[in-house]
Amino acid sequence: MDYVSIILPFIGGLGMFIYGMQIMAQGLENAAGSKMKSLLEVLTKNKFFGVLLGAFITAVIQSSSATTVMVVGFVNAGIMNLTQAMGVIMGANIGTTVTGWLVSSVEWAKALSPANIAPVAVMIGVIVMLTGKRRSTKDISSIIVGFGILFIGITTMSDAVEPLQQSEAFCNLFVTLGHSPFLGIVAGALVTAVIQSSSASVGILQSLAAAGLVPFNAAVYIIMGQNIGTCVTAIMSSIGAKKTAKTAAVMHLLFNIIGTIIFSVVAIVFFKVINPGFGEALITQTEISTVHTIFNIGTTILLFPVSDWIIKLAKKLEREDSDDVDEGQVLLDDRMLETPSIALQSTVSEMVRMGHVVRGTMNRTRDVLITKKREEIEKIREEETIADGLCKGITEYAIKLNTLSINEKEHQEVASILQIVSDIERVSDYCENISEFAENLKDQKASFSEIAREEIQQMEDVCIDCFRYAIEALEERSKEKAMKVIEKESQADELEIALRTAHMKRLARNECSTESGIVFLDALVCLERISDHARNIAEEILTAE
C-alpha cells in the first residue's frame, strides 16, 4: 500500500479543515463581537451564566482550547474570578461540539453533501468578498468561505484514508483501541495535544469514521481522551502567569479528567458486560457528534453541583494563596487578544479602573493645600506614579489591539480609549502639581487667608464633581452624566475667572502674601484644566455611536 499517497492528501485536507475553521471563526467573531461584549458585561458569579457564555464563545471561535486560554488570561488579569472561570470552562466543552455537528451534517442532511455545497459556498463567499464594500458583508463572506474550505478539507481527509479499509494492521489498531480504554483515551489526548484543537481532532476522527474504519467503542474512548488533550493548550498558556491563572488551568484539567473517569466506567460496563457486540460495530459521523455532545453535556450536568469542590481541589493542588492585587498592575493579558471584541471590553474596564484610581487622587487633593500634610502629599505622588504606569500599559495594549482584525467601529473605540486614557493621566499630573504647591506652602511656612481657603475649596468641589461625573459617565456609558460634566466644566470656567479677579484685588490690598497668592492662582489654573480634561472625556462619550 502506498502510504505516501494517503498521508500527503490527508495532511493537506487537515490543513484546509483547520484553515477553514479559523476563517469561519474569525468571520463569526467579527459579526458577533458586540453580542460577546454584552454577554461578558452580564457575567456574574452565577456559574450558570458562565456556562452559557463559555458555550457561546466556543461556538463562535470554534475552539474550546482558545476559550480556556482566554479564561486563563481573564483570571490572570483579575477580570474573572475562579467561580466565573469554572462556569465558562464547563460551557466551553459544550460549545466545542458545534464543529462536529457541522461536519456530520453531510449524513443527516444529504443536500449538504460536501461534493455539492463546498465548492458553491467557496465561490459565493469569494464573490461576496470581492464585491462587498461594507465590513459586515466581508465578515459574512469569511463565514461562507471558511464553511466551504472546512468541508473540502474533511472530504479530502475522508477520501485519503479510504484505502486504509484494506489495511488489516490499521483496522486492528482501532480494534485494539476499542478493547483497551486506556490506550484509546491516551491516543485521543495525544492527537489533540499535538494539533491543539479538539474540534480538529474530532474532525479527523469523523473523517476516519466516514471511511468505515472506527468501531463504536474505540471512538468513545478517543473522544474522552480528546477532551483531556485540549487542556494542554491552557496549561501551557498559564506558564509564567499568576497562581490564580494556573489554578484555572488545573480546574480545566480536573473537570475533564473527572468526567472521563466517570464516563469511562459507564462505557466499560456497557461495552464489556451489557452489550459487547454494540461496541464492535462501526460508528458514523453523526454518532460521533452525538457521543461527543452527550459526554460534554453529561459531564457538565453531573459536575455542575460539585464544581466548588473542583475549585477547592485545584487550589489545593496548585497551593494557591489569596494574594493581594497590586493596584498599579495593568490587568490586561495578551491571551485575551485571541478574541479582540472581548479584549476591547477588558481594555475599557481597565480604563475605568484607572479613572477610579485618579478619582481617589483627585479627592485627596481637596484638603492638601489647607492641611499641607506630608503623608498626603507623598500618597498623591505615589498614586500619580500608579496612574502613569496604568496609562502606559493600557496604551500599549490598545495599540496591539488596533493592529488586529477588528471592524471600523472597534477601531474608533480604540482611538477613543487612547484619548480618554491620556486625559485621565493628565488629570493625575495636575493633582501632583497641586501636591507640589502644598509642599511649597509648607516649606515657605505660608498659608491661605480664610477667604482664599473657602474659595479654593469651592473651586475644588466643582472640579471634583466634574471629574466624578466624567468617570461615572464613562463607566455607565451615560450621556446624561456626560451632559452634567459639560455643565460643571462651564461652571468651573466662570468660577475660575471670578475667583482670579477677586484674588487679584486681595493681592492689591495686601490682604494675603505673595507666596500664597501665586500658589492660589496656579492651583486655580490646574483645577480649571482638570475640568477641561473631564469635558474631553464627556465629549468622547457623547460622540460615541
Per-residue pLDDT at 162: 75
- Angle in degrees, 0-180, between the axes of helices 33-42 and 340-371, rounded to the nearest 10: 50
* Position 324 in a domain: no
Domain end among 316, 346, 366: 316
Specify whether 251 is located in the same domain as 393.
no
Q: Give CA angle at 141 (140, 142), nearest 5°.
A: 90
Angstrom distance (rounded) from CA 144 to CA 138: 10
* Position 322 in a domain: no
Specify whether 287 is located in the same domain as 426.
no
* Position 9 in a domain: yes
Angstrom distance (rounded) from CA 186 to CA 74: 30
Specify whether 442 is located in the same domain as 533.
yes
* Position 321 in a domain: no
Number of folded domains in the chain? 2
Per-residue pLDDT at 28: 67
Specify whether 58 is located in the same domain as 206.
yes
Domain end among 316, 350, 384: 316
CATH of residue 461's domain is 1.20.58.220
Specify whether 226 is located in the same domain as 349.
no
Contacts of 269 (CB under 8 A, 6+ apart): none
Per 3-state DSSP, the chain is made up of helix, strand and coil in percentages (nearest 5) of 85, 0, 15
Query: Other C-beta atoms within 10 Å of 287: how many?
Result: 19
Specify whether 238 is located in the same domain as 293.
yes
Domain assignment of residue 470, given as a range: 334-541
Burial (Cβ within 10 Å: 0-12, 13-18, ≥19) of residue 209: buried
Specify whether 297 is located in the same domain as 355.
no
Per-residue pLDDT at 389: 92
pLDDT in tens, the chain (545 residues): 566 777 888 888 888 877 887 777 677 666 665 555 555 555 545 678 788 888 887 777 666 777 777 777 777 766 677 888 888 889 888 988 887 787 777 666 555 555 567 788 888 888 887 887 776 777 788 878 887 887 788 778 777 877 776 677 766 777 787 788 888 899 888 888 877 777 778 888 888 888 788 888 888 999 999 888 888 877 877 776 677 778 888 998 999 999 999 999 999 999 888 888 888 888 888 899 999 999 999 999 999 999 889 999 988 887 755 444 556 677 787 877 877 877 887 888 889 999 999 999 999 988 888 888 889 999 999 999 999 999 999 999 999 998 887 778 888 999 999 999 999 999 999 999 999 999 988 888 888 888 888 999 999 999 999 999 999 999 888 999 999 999 999 999 999 999 999 988 888 887 777 888 888 899 999 999 999 999 999 999 998 76
Domain end among 251, 284, 316: 316
Specify whether 219 is located in the same domain as 356.
no
* Position 267 in a domain: yes
Specify whether 309 is located in the same domain as 426.
no
Whole-angstrom Cα Rg for the chain = 30
Per-residue pLDDT at 324: 47
- Angle in degrees, 0-180, between the axes of helices 216-229 and 198-210, rounded to the nearest 10: 160
Specify whether 278 is located in the same domain as 375.
no
Q: 137 vs 37, 414, 497, CA distance in Å?
A: 21, 22, 53
Angstrom distance (rounded) from CA 21 to CA 3: 27
Per-residue pLDDT at 44: 47
* Position 34 in a domain: yes
Specify whether 171 is located in the same domain as 111.
yes
What does the block give as the cell for 229? 488533550
Angstrom distance (rounded) from CA 303 to CA 218: 24
Angstrom distance (rounded) from CA 517 to CA 520: 5
Per-residue pLDDT at 20: 80
* Position 366 in a domain: yes
Q: Positive or negative CA dihedral for 413, 414, 415, 421? A: positive
Specify whether 363 is located in the same domain as 234.
no
* Position 329 in a domain: no
Per-residue pLDDT at 29: 66
* Residue matched to cell numbers 451564566: 49
Q: Give CA angle at 258 (252, 264), nearest 5°.
A: 130
Predicted structure pTM score: 0.69
